[in-house]
Amino acid sequence: MITIIGSGRVGATTAFALLFFEVDNEVVLIDVIKNLPQGEAVDLNHAAAILGKSVRYRGSNDYKDMEGSDLVIVTAGLARKPGMTREELAGKNAEIVASIAEQIKRYAPNSIVIITTNPLDAMVYVLYKKLGFPRNRVIGFSGVLDSNRMAYYASLLVGIAPESIIPVVLGQHGENMYPVPEASFIYGKPLTEFITKEQYDDIVKKTVQAGAEITSLRGFSSNWGPAAGLAMMVDSIKRDRKRVFEASVYLDGEYGVRDVFAEVPVVLGKNGVEKIIELKLNDEQRKKFLDSVEAIKRNLAQVPPQFLS
């Protein structure tokens, strides 16, 4: 059973995306807003009937209904509002994530947990600390989205399909992320051999600003891209595909970093994060990666200390 906590745009869209993968025949949507998850479940069941998919949805306002879930997706949290500081957002969402962690620990203690709540790398750290699960079972969603955004923008310039590019974006999910076109490949050749310096800069800029552009254009943040990425990650875990994705995971010496979550390439299978892939970074790349990690640590410093232990 899969549980999605949070029935807003990302949660509901993810539930719909999972319909096409049919990795589990039961998906539970949980939200604190009365009737919202129930209504989404009814609509999704109608969609399943139309598409001939063998997935059944249940909506609930009671965390107890996640009992027995082997995979939990956390999309709940507040979006940053006008006038709200990053410190306020970090504090409010840390409180939400910490309370959700207690419920997951109680009702789905053997689950693999993926979270999308922002600021992502700080919130997955809070989740990890409060759950007490092994690090392979606590995953921050971000890298799948960031890296494939870069592949999309590069594909427009190079003139090939995005899936033919192996993209690399490291570090923070946010404005201090580190896109690495020179470590990204097209059938064994570095992406930088296909683009000019100006195109390189353009790809990096568009990748970093993608989320802000979407929010500026339509007034709220992305949901279709995150839902697609989450569904791919869930498919790899539930079907033990052992596919390589980028995700925000707990580093304990990898890349010379400890006690922090950051975007890096990983192998996802039935045990969650089955392997962290360490790329060989030159001195300049390592500095940029570590600068991005420092930005994550600054985010963590904005979280009240009671949520970090």
List, by residue number, the catalytic residues: 173
Residue of 304, 28, 299 lying closest to 171 (CA atoms): 299
Chain position carrying tokens 């507040």: 78
Q: Can you tell me whether residue 56 is helix, strand or coil?
A: strand
Q: How far is CA 33 from CA 50, 56, 102, 240, in A?
A: 27, 21, 19, 34
Residue of 116, 33, 97 whose CA lies nearest to 303:
97
Instruction: Name every residue whose Cβ is closer than 8 Å to that of residue 142 and which is 6 or more positions away in sequence.
Output: 116, 120, 121, 173, 246, 247, 248, 263
Residue among 179, 148, 178, 180 at smallest CA distance from 165: 148
Grouping H, G, I as helix, E, B as strand and the rest as coil, residue 308 is coil
β-pairing, 272-276 with 243-252?
unpaired
Residue 72 is encoded by which pair of tokens?
């939990």
